Amino acid sequence: MTTSRRQLLTGAAATALGALSPAHAQTAAPARAARPNAAPDLLRARRLRPGDTLALVSPANATYEREPLEIAVESLEALGFKVKLGANVRGRYGQFGGTDVQRAADINEAFADDEVAGILALTGGSGCNRIVDKLNYALIRRKPKFFGGFSDLTSLVNAIHKQTGLITFHCPVAGSEWNEFSLQHFRAVAMDAQADLLQNPQGERGAHVVQREDRISTLRPGLARGPLVGGNLAVLSSLAGSPYFPDTRGAILFLEEINEYIYRVDRMLSTLRLCGALDQLAGVVLGKFTNCGPGDGSYGTLTLDEVFDDYFLPLNIPVYRGAMIGHIKRKFTVPVGQPAEMDARAGTVRLLSPAVV
């Protein structure tokens, strides 16, 4: 995602919150069609196992060189998976990885393919909003599978969950750096079916007397429970008013951003506030806001601290900042729609049950 993506954001909050109890979880059985204004039952995909086939798709930006695709395939193979390339994974239409029809078709075909156990995006960028209304959600409900990615994939992971009840995954894309931290959490959540504890690394002081990197900052302490929804702030706010915007009532909202001026972060948060998405949150987890500073030539600006205080402190709910979520090398795998408990003082999110079966 880059600063070039700008969209006029309008609208109102979306509809009712999905069933949260694990007792409502289903696996491969067809889900009934959602009643008007009612969220579909919660669905959990089968856990990924070594030897499974992952479909590699490009729903956002094109990959212009051969090497990044080769590295992504080799990385997934090193994790023990077989890889099946989407028909248009090497496609290009402008900056996108193929036309809208092609990119959506690759996702739909991967869900339909019984050989495929899960679907992972090659990269982020932009373009997922263009195909969010072209996915076959009835098919996805019938054949739930692991689906993951981050950044621009915020559109798809939230839309799929909202439309089908399937728990999706805000996680590294295939082209990410699969370091030990990221891999540990991916395996725990997506492969080992653990009720993972999402907690920043502790005690990494380096040459300093105190920990300086990956610190947690508590805006308001407290515990909260609810389903996890969110992702990239710019992409999420661009869905406001659409049927693909997540229901935030009773939810734990997690947010991250990169390369946006502070006044734009402020404007995106105002969109969430004005559409009612902040009104009934259970809690807020702020990830990394990488490279988000004052605008060029600015004679004065609010700080990120001040912006976050302005929007979140009046809510009187637990809020903390600094979680390992975002455009960073080491990142959590966060299951969208999964019931969890956050502790804003400790800076942790604990999944209340496995996100896969």
Rounded CA-CA distance 63/60 in Å is: 10
Whether 327 is catalytic? yes
List 58, 75, 126, 151, catalytic entry: 151
Q: CB-based contacts of 17: which residues, under 8 Å, 6+ apart?
A: 39, 227, 247, 249, 250, 251
Whether 256 is catalytic? yes
Q: Which residue type does 306 have?
A: E
List 256, 257, 260, 341, catalytic entry: 256
Beta bridge partners of 336: 168
Whether 177 is catalytic? no
C-alpha separations of 130 from 31, 125, 244, 279, 334 in Å: 26, 12, 12, 28, 24
Rounded CA-CA distance 157/142 in Å is: 17
Output 194-197 pairs: Cβ under 8 A, ≥24 positions apart: 194/351, 194/354, 195/350, 195/351, 195/352, 195/353, 195/354, 196/333, 196/350, 196/351, 197/348, 197/349, 197/350, 197/351
Alpha-carbon dihedral 238, 241, 245, 249, rounded to 10 degrees: 120
Sheet holding 319-321, edge to edge: 197-199, 348-351, 339-343, 223-232, 252-258, 283-290, 319-321, 217-220
Q: Closest by alpha carbon to 272, among 286, 259, 258, 292?
A: 286
Q: Closest by alpha carbon to 118, among 194, 169, 61?
A: 169
Q: CB-based contacts of 20: which residues, under 8 Å, 6+ apart?
A: 42, 226, 227, 250, 339
Catalytic residue IDs: 151, 256, 327
